[in-house]
Each structure stands twice: as structure tokens, then as C-alpha cells.
Structure 1
């Protein structure tokens, strides 16, 4: 009897990195969306009682969260050397941030947030590992 083997093509590292950043970005969006269901969150936003209660804080948060979204296209478009180091630097940065958020967000209503933070930190750690181990071309 013939044994069927599923095809497994080699995926370009740039595509791998872009897909990892895409997953991270979706998890950020879902985490922030689901946080709106935490009691008093929406009323706090409406009343101006939130972490992002000034134009500067809102801009800085926007700047921070633009990075993972931009890393999706940068992972495809940039030259390998710059691409590798941006993935390592931003991967380490976001891994640290998400581990800090996971460690400081424990509460009954934020278990989902800790879950997302752990997933995000795992994915960004994989980004760092993948970029660090970028295969070198021998000329």
C-alpha cells in the first residue's frame, strides 16, 4: 500500500516573519477589543478616566502599536541585514513589554488579557529566534 506524504514547501524567512507579526498584530487588536467588555472600561473611556487620557499619551500609544503593523510590510520589503536587526530589536522590545503586561494584569476580569500577553510574548520571542537564525548565503 502506498503511503501518502503531504507536501511541505520551504517558506521564505521574510514571509515567516511577516506572518508572525500579522498574528501578533491581530492578538493586540483582539486583546484591546475584548478589554472593552471589562466592567467600567467603556465608562472610564467616555469620562476620560483611562491610561490614554491626554493627546500625548494617545499619540505615544499609537506610535508604539504602529510598529508591529509596520513590521509586517518591513519584513517583506527591507533588505536582509536591516530586516534581521529590526526584527530582533523590536521582537525583544515587544516580548519584554508583553511579559511585563502579563505579570501585572492578573485579575478576574483580565485573565484573557494575560492569555493574550503570553501568546504575544511567545510569538515575538519566535520572531527574535527566527531573525537571529536567518540563514546566511555563501558566495
Structure 2
């Protein structure tokens, strides 16, 4: 009498599919992080338009108690332009300058992100905690990526 043989084939290591996991260049990580940061930055401002009374203040010429004159608009543009330019600069600057600039700008944008909640009511604290928390996490990722930028041995 024959004994039943197992119908399962022996495990073949080559039969397993593994996903290819290429190491991304630091420049690509930084550009992607700045792009993500900009999406949050823009959408927080956009979604703030839905807060009751915000548009009334905007139409009256104020945002968070600031007059929306030429100085405010220029500062707002500069605050938006810097991270936008960081996307391009992260992939085009020489490595040493790129690393330094990312460390400086990301460090300076942490208090900028935190300041965006100044004067807000507790009614929208979840919105601002989530948005600012995510922005700060992205800035921390940028800082970590730039700080740990791999060095090539001299020679």
C-alpha cells in the first residue's frame, strides 16, 4: 500500500516575490518632503476659509487681526515662496549647500508653523493641532534627512 505523498512542493526561495526597495537619493526625499509640506501649508489656508466669520474678516481686510495691506501680502508671499523654492533647490544645489540650506530653512519654519495657530480659538484646536503637527513632522523629516546625508569618503 502506498502512503499519500504531500502535494505541496518544497519551498523555493526564488519563487517568493519580493518588492524591489531602491534607496532614494536624499535630494529626492527632500524635494518630496517640501512638496508635501507645501500641500499642507496651502490646504490649511484654504480650509481656514470654511471657518465661520473668516471670510467676513478677510473682506473687511483682516486675517488673524493683521491688516491685509501690501506688507501682509508681501510677507505671505515670501512665506509661501521659500518652501516652494526649496523643492527646486533641493534637487539642484551642490550637496553641501543643499544640506545647509535645508537644515536652516526647516529649522526656521518650525516656529513659523507654530505661529500659524496664534490667536486661534479652541473650537478649531483639533484642526490646527493636526495640521501643525503634520507640518512639524515633515520639517523634522527634512531635518533628519539633511542631517544624516551620507558622506562619500574623501580620496
Distance (Å, rounded) in 2 between the aligned partners of 1:87 and 1:116: 21
Question: Structure 1 stretches (4+) deviating beyond 6 angstroms?
Answer: none
Q: Which residue of 1 aligns with 2:6?
A: none
**1:1-139 residue pairs with structure 2 within 5 A?**
1=11, 2-50=15-63, 51-102=66-117, 105=120, 107-138=122-153, 139=155
SS of the counterpart of 2:103? helix
Q: Which residue of 1 aligns with 2:8?
A: none
SS of the counterpart of 2:62? coil
Distance (Å, rounded) in 1 between the aligned partners of 2:46 and 2:67: 15
TM-score (norm 2): 0.82
Structure 1 segments unaligned to the other structure (5+ residues): none
Report the structure number with the largest CA radius of gyration. 2
Deviations 1:102-121 (A, max 9, x none): 57645213522321111000
Structure 2 segments unaligned to the other structure (5+ residues): 1-10
Deviations 1:93-134 (A, max 9, x none): 112322344576452135223211110001001101110111
Identify, as 1 or 2, the structure richer in helix: 1
TM-score (norm 1): 0.91
Distance (Å, rounded) in 2 between the aligned partners of 1:60 and 1:27: 18
